[in-house]
Amino acid sequence: MTRVGAYAPVLPLLAVVVLLALPLGPGGEGGAGPADAVSALVVLYCAIRLVRDRRRPLSPAAAVVLGLPVLGIAVAAAGAVSPGEGLVGLGRYLQVFVLVPLAVLLLLRDRADFRLLAWSFVGLAVWQGAVGVHQYATATGASYQGRPVRAVGTFGAQDVMGMATVVSLGLVCAVGLALGSAPVRQRVTALACAALLLPPLAVSFSRGAWIATAVTLVAQLLLSGLRRALSAGAVVVAASVILVGGFGVGTAMLQERISSITRVADAPDQSVTDRYTMWAAATGMWGEHPLAGVGLKGFPEHRDGHSSLALSAGSDTEGAGAAFRKQPLLSPHNMYLLVLAEQGLIGLLALAGSWLALLVCAVRALWRTRRTAGPGLDCGLVASGLLVWQLTDFAYADIGGPSTVLTAMCFGLAAWWGLSDRTGPTAREPAVAVTDARGAAQGAATR
């Protein structure tokens, strides 16, 4: 009981991750799920703790960085098509970019809590990846090129990016933990988990997730040091050769999907054409409303007026237990353009400014840890890696679906690493070290 009580503040955050392992049921709409509801309770729990403890919760820097998005979100909510849509959009943006990150920042007390949450990301990714590989192997996944082989985990065909997101984030956490200075057994376990997550990421057929993961892994290797980057890079190349050549992971469909990345401009498929068309529509909306955008949740309302005839009626989804349906295209699948269209320059500068400041703080803290050989290198690599992955993936995706709550938690982990006092009196690891040293000194005096 004492050990469980020691982790009481972080347990609600773990509950959010655990709920994402549950199946949502076929035919779901891909919107908010049980994990989102629990995340709201986590925010309430955090607020109650702050009131009870009567302490100043945030440093001025943290308050500015995490509070900056509120400006653009509030302005865009006031200009929404309807008050109801404005309130819904306001709640979602505040949840993902302000409230849940703040709760993560305030509930995590030290590196032990951070690592526990990072390992929960890895565990969730391994579970979802196992389900996804089974779907691919047994042809029970979502439809891809007319065959039910796309791995989607428990998220269903209406949220084909859900499993890819979870597996990518788990892979980033595993690599960060493996590159740290933890005991050898933990680093080997993390490296093994990273290798296990490569096949499910491959059979997710998500080009955006592949690109974001590749960029992030390179960044993590470089941030961990040149020598370590070269040795780890050799391991990754060897693992890729074994997976592709030895186990036949590189099927014709997978190879075709990979090669399509390099010809998106020459011979784009319909999904790429739709994306380009919606990007152009988002840019057109911003051109008409440059400062404040068309308002939260306004992209679907203004899409047809700014789209060409090349835009299809929607994407076809079926498989993984769901019947065929035409899923409407309600966002540009680019977070930066979505913010620009709905919130204008005010919103984009506020949100992107917050993200950039958070990235600078996280990388600076990581660089300082490396330079001083301080503890927590693995935490810094995980936090920086998660943030790099999100900011890269935002060029190909936006928020939406049950896995979005993980995006909020990623920003919270990055905020804890970059903005909190990790050596203060609430950090359990330094306190344990001091206690052990005092105990050793007393024992020596007694002897």
pLDDT score of 438: 38
pTM of the complete model: 0.88
297 neighbors 88 (Cβ within 8 angstroms): yes
pLDDT score of 431: 37
Q: How far is CA 274 from each of CA 73, 159, 314, 329, rounded to the nearest angstrom?
A: 27, 17, 9, 9
Q: Which helix (H) or strand (E) holds 316?
A: strand 315-319
Residues facing residue 147 across a β-bridge: 144
Task: Single out the residue of 117, 100, 102, 116 nearest to residue 58, CA to CA.
Answer: 102
pLDDT score of 285: 94
pLDDT score of 427: 44
Residue type, 32: A
pLDDT score of 262: 57
Task: State CA 79 to chain mean position distance.
Answer: 28
- The pLDDT tens digits along the chain (447 residues) read 455 566 678 999 999 999 999 887 544 455 568 899 999 999 999 999 888 887 667 888 999 999 999 999 999 999 888 889 899 999 999 999 999 999 999 999 899 999 999 999 999 999 999 999 999 999 998 888 778 889 999 998 888 899 999 999 999 999 999 998 888 899 999 999 998 999 999 999 888 899 999 999 999 999 988 777 676 667 666 666 665 555 455 566 666 666 666 555 555 667 778 888 899 999 999 999 999 999 999 998 888 888 777 777 667 677 676 777 777 788 899 999 999 999 999 999 999 999 999 999 999 999 999 888 888 999 999 999 999 999 999 998 999 888 999 999 999 999 999 998 754 444 454 433 333 333 433 443 333
Q: Which residues contact 227 (CB under 8 A, 6 or more apart)?
A: none
The span from the CA of 447 to the CA of 444, in Å, is 5
Task: Single out the residue of 285, 390, 320 nearest to residue 28, CA to CA.
Answer: 320
pLDDT score of 317: 74
Burial annotation 263-282 (CB, 10 A radius, 16+ → b, else e): eeeeeeeeebebbbbbbbbb
